[in-house]
Amino acid sequence: MLYLASKSPRRRELLTRLGVDFGLLDIDIPELRQPAEAPDDYVRRVAREKAGAGLLEVVANPSALVLGSDTEVVLDDEVFGKPADAGEAAGMLRRLSGRTHRVLSAVSLVSAGREVQAMSESRVTFTALDDATIAAYLATGEWQGKAGAYAIQGVAEMFVEHLEGSFSGVMGLPLHETSRLLAEFGVHVLQPSSTPDRA
């Protein structure tokens, strides 16, 4: 049985797209970067901790497979987590304005006896944002609970001049990497029908 260790409705939506059955685990892991911890190492560690905490929740099920993921926005080696309020969100968007930032999304898949992990790195270039545009975006409320204070699958997609990498990874769960990890555990997604559809 596959479980998703996440409260994120975006990750739930993305995993559903793969056509696999899964349960949900309400996991709350402190997301605190350690001093001198590289952004890539931080994202990998948090994803692993989420999956591990999820596995403890379902330890009674020996066939349980738990997926944990973490996504962070990184600019100049600084990790932009979820803003605490609109003021912090505005500051993040001003910093991202007219620049290219990295979005790191790590996926960990664990069972009682095995763990595999993958990382997706995307580069997102924002157009220049003036204060009026930032204020209008903040008024939508879309920034709340989003790393870097934006959701690429929402209104903020209009800020993106260029994306190099994984759209689903920027959303919060890179589907290419996730499907590959699931296949390593024998969970195959979107299996083709034995009889092809005919027009």
Which residues are designated catalytic? 70
The continuous run of DSSP H or E covering 98 comes out as none
Size of the chain, expressed as the number of residues it contains: 199
Q: For residue 124, give the 3-state DSSP assignment.
A: strand
What are φ and ψ of residue 95, in 5° steps? Answer: -70, -35
Q: Please name the residue ranges forming H helices in 37-163.
A: 39-57, 86-96, 131-140
Q: How many CB atoms lie within 10 A of CB 115?
A: 14
